[in-house]
Structure 1
Amino acid sequence: MPTAHAKWVVVETRPLRGKGQPFIRRMLRPNAIEAWETMQKPGGWKRCQPRW
């Protein structure tokens, strides 16, 4: 549950193949962690190094 002191983070996703545009959004850190854990389970998503 986010609190008043939760930090904002920038989440960037992009296609693995091709030169598609990245999808960038701001999320509260607890929500970003929950989304990441959810994406890892069925989709097999992996972390990569930031490109900036």
Structure 2
Amino acid sequence: MTDETMALRGLLEKSAEASFLREMIGFAAHRLMELDAEGACGAGHGERSADRVN
């Protein structure tokens, strides 16, 4: 594990707002993955599109 990852993990474990930060990071990661998948497919989740490639 990198030093930056270990430092972030240590900060999250020590912080009183650790659960809030985990939620924020999880939300951001999930949204970034959704946007990447939408870009690759040519349409959003559940969206009908003639340009959709999957």
TM-score (norm 2): 0.35
Decide which structure has the larger Cα Rg and report it. Answer: 2
- Give the structure with the larger strand fraction: 1
Structure with larger RCO (C-alpha < 8 A, sep 6+): 1
- Give the structure with the larger helix fraction: 2
